[in-house]
Amino acid sequence: MSTQPFFPSRTRLPRPSAADVLVWLAGALPLLLLVVLVSTLLALSPAHAATDTTCNGQNLLVAMEKEQPAELQKIRDEAAKVPNGSGIFWKIEKPGLAPSWLLGTMHVTDPRVLTMPSGARDAAAAADVVVIESDEILDEQKAGATLLMHPELTMFTDGTSIKDHLGAEDLKALETGLKERGLALAAVSRMKPWILASFVALPACEMSRKAGGASFLDKQIAEDAVKAGKPIAGLETMVEQLQAMADLPVDFHFQALIETIALGDKMEDVIETMTELYLSGEIGMTMPMLKAVAPTPEDGDESAYAAFENRIVRDRNLLMAKGSSPHLEKGNAFIAVGALHLPGEEGLVELFRKQGFTVTRVGS
């Protein structure tokens, strides 16, 4: 077995920026994968995961407003160019049909996020069907079993481990990051790099709330619908979500892992900033903010993010739009998916409009 690092020269790689990694982990990470990742982590380290539910992150834009107002204005100017970048709750209409609703979610257990925007909870309660990214989130044991049926999508199956693919310095940093989550490198060494990146990056407070039984927003919406006897529909399967991640170049995943390790404690601040942007409905500011606080490295390559954006965001947007169409054509549907799937020229708001619906923002 080779003991040489997988990357003898990083400058030869299409290196993602930390911003790319953050948007993936905090906003566009497929929902069902998040369920399985958190469940796996809790199973590996239940004692550590249940310690502290307090998050200590600070909104980075507050300090920027005082110290870098020009930079903050650039972020706002760039966000203003994003189609449908403002708003997380939308009304979907077509003549002859009862209105349907679209809610952009954040896959976290933060009580502020679980409150939902005004009118959204009532719309979900009155809907004929609730549509989420994956209805498999309601059965974590079944999701875990599906995961075991496709080991090649999440584990090294060629006899190697993460130790054979990283240099000594990066490996030591990874081991330290895992220890902070109560994990031993040996226990997860055969997992693919994107799973390890998630272990390192998801805030400990988020893990603690999950250990205490808290549901993140999407799952709470689904659970409420089940209690009310409503049908639940999913737009993706777990295998489809796994395949989307596996389709990205392995180089991207390894560099994403390295960049995530390098972020360290800054991750909590970024998550808090993203959360406050979400609560204010300013989704279009997310990527400009991330690029400002976690700039592309000197040896970065925009093609890395382009590959990510096409496979994890754009392709899934198209799949979600197609899967939502039958429900929208019946009317009175409530659709809840990650908020970063809503804005942009190929976001769900525009894709629904192309299907002939009138889509308008709800609230200020």
What is the reported pLDDT for 336?
97
Measuring CA to CA, how many Å separate 196 from each of 155, 177, 214? 11, 10, 23
Mean pLDDT of 129-146: 84
What is the reported pLDDT for 207?
74
Measuring CA to CA, how many Å separate 129 from each of 20, 46, 161, 179, 362? 34, 35, 44, 43, 20
pLDDT digits (tens, 9 = 90+) for 48-92: 444 567 788 899 999 999 999 999 999 999 999 999 999 999 999
What is the reported pLDDT for 2?
35
Highest mean pLDDT among 58-67, 165-174, 182-191, 325-334: 325-334
94-99 long-range Cβ contacts below 8 angstroms, 24+ apart: 94/328, 94/329, 94/331, 94/356, 94/357, 94/358, 97/328, 97/329, 97/330, 97/331, 97/332, 98/331, 98/332, 99/331, 99/332
What is the reported pLDDT for 259?
75
Q: Residue 139 — pLDDT band, cuts 50, 70, 90?
A: confident
Highest mean pLDDT among 214-223, 263-272, 294-303: 214-223
Percent of the chain whose pLDDT exceeds 90: 41
Mean pLDDT of 199-225: 83
Of the two residues 44 and 282, the one the predictor is more confident about is 282
Mean pLDDT, the chain, rounded, equals 82
Of the two residues 299 and 243, the one the predictor is more confident about is 243
The model's pTM is: 0.85
pLDDT at 13 over 50: no
